[in-house]
């Protein structure tokens, strides 16, 4: 985990211009995990891939418990020609 500022600095060190960046809204990730949970539950009931579905359920649970404690940054980058 790192900060938005750290991710932008890393992109610059790797030779990219940060055109823009923003934190993805929590509501977007909540909607993603809500949809994911429904699909995973349905698929797990119909197949034998318990380990995969278990891992996905763990990810969903982490989001439910800790989702307000972290975020996701989106960076639009442009490669700097050297």
Note the pTM of the prediction, 2 decimals.
0.67
Of 58, 51, 14, 6, nearest to 36 by C-alpha is 58
Where are any strands of DSSP class E within 2-72? Answer: 16-23
φ, ψ for residue 78 (rounded to 5)? Answer: -130, 125
Domain ranges of the chain: 4-79
pLDDT of residue 6: 95
The DSSP output letter for 47 is S
Q: pLDDT tens string for the chain (82 positions)?
A: 899 999 999 999 999 999 999 999 999 999 999 999 999 888 888 887 778 888 899 999 999 999 999 889 999 999 998 6
Residue 81 Cα distances to 17, 31, 76, angstroms: 10, 38, 16
């Amino acid at each position: 985990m790192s900060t938005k500022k750290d991710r932008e600095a890393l992109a610059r060190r790797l030779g990219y211009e940060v055109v823009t960046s923003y934190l993805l809204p929590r509501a977007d990730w909540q909607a993603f995990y809500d949809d994911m949970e429904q699909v995973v539950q349905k698929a797990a009931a119909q197949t034998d891939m318990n380990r995969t579905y278990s891992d996905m359920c763990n990810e969903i649970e982490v989001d439910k418990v800790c989702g307000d404690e972290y975020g996701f940054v989106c960076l639009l980058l442009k490669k700097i020609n050297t």
